[in-house]
Structure formats: structure tokens, C-alpha cells
Structure 1
């Protein structure tokens, strides 16, 4: 091609580019499919907290991007777990770590790892323990034996309850596989964290702790590894804002290696159904990394400001009493209790919750001392008599840590509207 023709061709490129840009600008943007709206599923403002039945949390934007980006690639699951496990272990001060499908899964996998070691034959035999030479009992304090310990029963083990150090010594036998501790119940048991770990070391039995929802504070991510627990279980879809179906198992290297043998992608194990895909494993790592490096003081001040905004909107209504507390254990975040004199405000806690739930926009809050799922028809999680008593209590509880920016104003406005309306004469 002659030089003149080449130059002429090049001279048209800006024009063609302009046409292309104009064409793109003129083309209507494709509307993204809203499946929630399409199926008529209720979405809501979450003023209750990181409850599983409420879908946990809204994932961090960077986590969502990670899941989307990694979904376009094939990876070997074991390699993903290897690489991510190494990174997580360093972040949480443990010898090793892996991503599980929630804290419950981490509990099953951790115990399975203790029972089987690296013996493939034993892995294949779980949960059938008789005649295998495997241990079959988990010891925990009576107040720590709550429904999530069913994760241990999945391995074929049974749970032995104790109350004192002497009880532990008497209960320990050649069948004992694990001494388990529930962090949220630490104040209710006679044996505290350090003493539990010391007992495990003395008796040469592995110790574990369930801290499923117990961040913040962020230091809890490594506190119990540093303390000497052999296994730590935590959820990923709560304060860390990772995938709701992910969790982390961390602890001793030999146990984590054995737990991995009991986990997918292997298909001959009790935990085959505990699949975590590459997107969730990588998303969980990003969530943890971002959570640890976050500005937690700023975040806390934001929660306090949101709670103060809601409290200030309702506290001067006749008959209303407000109180802000920070739980000592569990979800350690500012929590607002709004209660009232039922001779002035003609409303029960359940009625206010229903008005918020079925209003527009829909808002979920807790009331009394329990999350709302305990009050749903057919729930057997709580004594029915207690449920009926709590339904009549004139209070609700509100948290701010799952609120999106600006939602505290909506929550404050709606609660004020309903309480004011119920307190009007006649």
C-alpha cells in the first residue's frame, strides 16, 4: 500500500472511533435481571444482626468481585485450599487452616480429622466407629452443649457433659477424642478458657473452641490460637462479610491435614456434602484479609452513631425507655433496646415487629432476648412456654452493624411512626 493511502486510512480512524462511541452511547443499556423481584421474594433492611435464617450478611464489594472474577477460571480445589490455607494461617496465627462450608462444617471436619488421622480406611468408615479403633466421645461443659454440637454427632461420636474439672478427669477415657469449648457460654461454665486448654495439654487430648459469630473484636481471630486451642471454628458470613456458606477451620497442622482428607473434593467421606467451591474459598480469604486490615475504630463509631440516631428518634415518646448495651460475648456490637409502658403504648413487641416486617420498606428487628426465628410457627428451638411469654414483652432490640448507609434513618422513622401511633389517645 502506498504511503498516501496509508495516511488516508489512518486519518479516518478518529472518525470511525467517534461513530463507534456514538453508536455505543445511542444503544440502550441492558437492564440487569432482578431475580429477587421477579420471584416476588421479600428483601428487607436488616436491623437484627448476622442471623443465618436472614441470609447472614451483605458480602463486601471486593468479595463479590473476587467471586465473579474467579468464576471464569478452572482451578484444582486442593490447590486453592493449599494456597488460601497458608495465607489464612499466617493471618490468624495458626499452624494451618482451611475454608469450610460454615462453622458447623468446620466442627464436623475438625473432629473427623482427629478420629481418622491420615488413615484412608478410617475416613471411608465414618460415621461407623464400632470395631475401628477410633475414639467416640467429645467432652464439653453442660452449659456449652447446645444444638450446634450436632456437628460432632455427624461423625458417630457422642457428647459427654461435665461441670467441674474433677468431672472432666473422671469422664476422660480411651474413647475421648476432644475437649470442646463454646466461647459464647464462657461466663456460664465453671471452667474457663485457659484452664480448659491446660486440661487438654495435661490429659493429652485435643481442645477446640466454637467462636462462630464472635467477631468483633478482630483480635478473636487469633486470640484462641495464641491461647493454645488445637482447633478453632468460625463462620465467614457474619462480621467478616464473606460468603454466608463459608467458614474457617484453623489449628494444628496434622489435624487440618486429616480434616482435608475428610473433605471435598474427595467423594467417599461423611463431609462430601460440605462442598465449598473455588469462588467461595477465594472470596473467604479476601473477606478475612480485608476485615483484619479494616479501620475498626471508624466502623465502631459509625455503628454508635447509627444507634444514637435511632435512639434519639424514639426516646422522647411518652412511655418509651431506651437502653444501649454492648454484649460481653457473641456479637459484640452496640445494641439498642426499646421498651415501653403498655398502659401508654398499646402495642406488644411482636405486634411492632410485625408492623416493621410487613411495612414498606420491610425491616427486621429482634425482640426480647432471642432472634425472631424462635418465634416462628413450628419452631422447637425454645421452650414453647418461654416463647409465649416473650411474645408479650413490650420491647424490641435493634443493631446497626448490618445496616447499609442511610438505612438507620429509615429504621428510626418507621419505629417512631409506629410507637407514636400506638401511644395516641383512643
Structure 2
């Protein structure tokens, strides 16, 4: 294998499409498309316009672009919310944007919201998450968000999780009443495929998805989809604009007949540019994801886990009925789970660490190759017996 020629030993990734484990593996149709894309040159603005058409069809958004991952989409989305189509504001980022505050429910803070601060944003926490601390049942409310909106508010950031409060439709209602966009971080919220359209339908102005997780695109790809003028702002702050201004025209996919009064300098999102290979790979993977459907995808992934169970023999295990089925292995306590996980890791086998505190090993099938399944099953049985 090519990795070994550089002194790198592959691992069995039963933890899911984690970036630290290099994500998942792409379908041969996706890798073939990327290889073909590498054999010719194209106008990147034209390619992103084609990507916008595909993303709009899949999400119901007005426009979309391919970025270098969901974090890059967050950075570009934040830059768009702060600068809009104000070229002077684009040139000033990350310094002194006219609006820089991003409201967020305190319970939704996470390590990835640093992307907004990199763009020049400032996070303003709202609410007290008593339901998580155990002190009560309340969380932030839409009314609290409405009260916190002011002249410095660039947007509301909403992190998509099944337990997120307040609900997105309520957030969208108060934000729209104040003329403030809603930026949604939905990086890992696929499947179900319906989530491609859900957040826009519930009022989001911009939505960020990872391309390298369940969609099955390149690990270094993401999607930013939403309102046309905001996506156009993000695109202008990412593109290589080193050409005479008279030669530039924003395609109708992003601006209709409107054009920026002048071109900005190379923007805050220049480091977020996606290559032609990543864009084509993501578009082919997105088509495959939407065409396969949730039921067929779930059955395909469940079959992988059943093959792992078969190789485990009579070791007790449970397969969940979640959109991405998971294999759960219950140990007596957290110490036993940590010990089993460490034993597997010593064999270059990685399982999810998300439930070790509960004494549960979790196997995620998204990044498993067929060749991994019998090896993984035997190793799991040995680790549990030990």
C-alpha cells in the first residue's frame, strides 16, 4: 500500500469519520472523478458556479459553494455575515468589522466556534444551561436571543444537534424580525438526507456541512449553502481575484445581474480555497449520497456490522437502529472499557471513545473497509475476553 512506502502503517478505523484518523474512504466513482478532474484546468469561478447549482438542488438553498471542510465553511459564513457585500468591510477583516457579534446559546459553545473568531467575530453567550448542569430544566430561549440582538450583531450561530435549544424555527423567527442572519453549523448532521434541506426550510440563512463524513466526499471538503448574497460574499472572500477588474463578472448563480462595485483584496477566506479535484469529488459524492437513500445506506452499513458480529462469535453485542447504525459492546465498567480500548489501539484498531465513561465500546461502520471486518471482529472478541 502507498502509505507503507512512506513509512506509515494504515489503521482500522472503527471510530467513524474522525479527522485525526484521516476520515473515511471514498467510493471508487468519487476517486475516479477526482483523478479525471486532475487531468485538466478549468476556471474556478465557473466550477464553483456549477457546484452552486448542484448544492442548491440538493439543499433547497439559493446558492452554495465547496469549501475545505465544515470549519472553513463556518469561517467563510462568519466573514459573509460580518461584511455582507461591503467591499471595504471585506478588506478590513479580521479588524474592525461593522458588525462582529455572533449570538450563541451558552449550551451550544464548542471548540469549532473558534472559526468565527478567526474571521474577526466575537461570540456573545446567551442563556444559562441549567438542564445540563443539573440545576434545573431551562436553557436559552428565543426571547433571550431577541433581547441580546443589537447594532453590533452580525448573526446568530445555531449548532445543530437533536437536543439544541431554542429550536431553529424559533431562532429564525426572532432573527429575521431583527434583520439578522442565522448561521447553522450542521457539520455532522447527515444522515438523514432530509437534513440537507431541513435547516434552510427552518429559516437558516447559511448552513455548513462536512463533505468528508457521511456524504463520502474528500476529507478536506465542505459545503456552505444559503442565501445568494451571503454565499456570494463568502465566495468573493475565498477566490483568487488576481486579475483586472474588467475581466471579472460574478455568475448569476451568486448574484443574478448584480455585481460588486469593485473587487476586494484577497480575502480572509483565501486559505479556505478548495481545489478542482476536491470540488468534483464532493459533487459526485453528494449525488451518490442523495441517490442512495437512507434505507439503502443504513442496510449497507448494518451489513458491515453484522459481518463484524459474525467474526466475534458468541460475544454479546447490540446494533442500534440509528441513521448510522452502531455496534455497542457493553463492559462491566468504565475501567474495563478503557482497558479494552487501549488493547485495541495497541493493535492499531480504533473504536469510538464517546461512551467509554459508560463502559461501552462503540463501533462506527462509516470508515470500515470490507477487508477490515473479520480482523476487527476477532480483535474485539479477544479484547473483551481479556
TM range (shorter): 0.7 to 0.9
Would you say 1:244 and 2:211 are equivalent positions? no
Q: Find the aligned partners of 2:354 and 2:270 in 1 and give their Cα distance.
A: 38
Give 1:103 shift. 0.8
TM normalised by structure 2 equals 0.84
State the match for 1:276 in structure 2.
Answer: 274
1:141-181 Cα offsets, whole Å, 9 max, x none, are 11111111111111211111112223212211011110111
> Which deviations, in whole Å up to 9, do the C-alpha atoms of 1:240-287 show, x marking residues without a partner?
110111100000001011111111324621112112111111111111
What are the within-5 Å matches in structure 2 for residues 17-56 of structure 1?
34-56=1-23
Q: CA deviation at 1:368?
A: 4.6
> Structure 1 residues 326 and 158 mapped into 2: Cα distance closer, same or farther (>3 Å)?
farther
CA contact 1:78–1:265 (8 Å) conserved in 2: no
CA shift digits 1:301-340 (9 cap, x unpaired): 23223334444665845xxx6444355xxxx411222122
Q: Tell me the residue number matched to 2:121.
A: 157
| Per-residue Cα deviation, 1:163-216 (whole angstroms, up to 9, x for no partner) | 2223212211011110111112x4142x11211111122222111211101111
Q: Which moved more, 1:231-240 or 1:266-275?
A: 266-275
How many residues align? The count is 350
Query: Which whole-Å CA distance do the structure 1 matches of 2:33 and 2:353 have between them?
Result: 36
Q: Alpha-carbon deviations, 1:115-158, whole Å to 9, x = none?
A: 222232221110001xx5x1010011111111111111112111
The alpha carbon displacement at 1:295 in A equals 4.4
Answer yes or no: is the 8 Å Cα contact 1:264–1:274 preserved in 2.
no
Which residue in 1 is equivalent to 2:326?
Answer: 335
Q: Which runs of 5+ in 2 are unaligned?
A: 127-139, 242-264
Task: Report the Cα distance in structure 2 between the residues aligned to 1:99 and 1:124, rounded to whole angstroms.
Answer: 22
Query: Of the two structures, which has the highest relative contact order with CA contacts closer than 8 Å and spacing of 6 or more?
Result: 2
Q: Is the 1:264–1:275 contact (alpha carbons within 8 Å) kept by the matching residues of 2?
A: yes
RMSD: 2.2
Paired residue for 1:183? 160
1:412 is aligned to 2:373: no
Q: Distance in 2 between matches of 1:159 and 1:201?
A: 19
2:146 touches 2:175 (CA, 8 Å); kept in 1? no
- Counterpart of 1:146? 110
Residues 13-412 of structure 1: pairs in structure 2 closer than 5 A: 34-129=1-96, 134-162=98-126, 163-184=140-161, 186-189=162-165, 191-266=166-241, 268-311=266-309, 316-317=314-315, 322-326=317-321, 332-341=323-332, 348-359=336-347, 362-369=348-355, 390=357, 394-412=359-377
For 2:199 and 2:148, how far apart are their aligned partners in 1?
24
Partner of 2:233: helix, strand, or coil? helix
Deviation at 1:227, TM superposition (A): 2.0
Instruction: Say which one has the larger Rg.
Output: 1
Residues in 1 aligned to 2:335 and 2:54: alpha-carbon distance in whole angstroms: 52
Question: CA deviation digits over 1:216-256, x for unaligned, max 9?
Answer: 11111111122221111000001111011110000000101
Structure 1 gaps, min length 5 = 1-33, 371-389
TM normalised by structure 1 equals 0.77
Output the CA distance in 2 between the equivalents of 1:398 and 1:175. 45
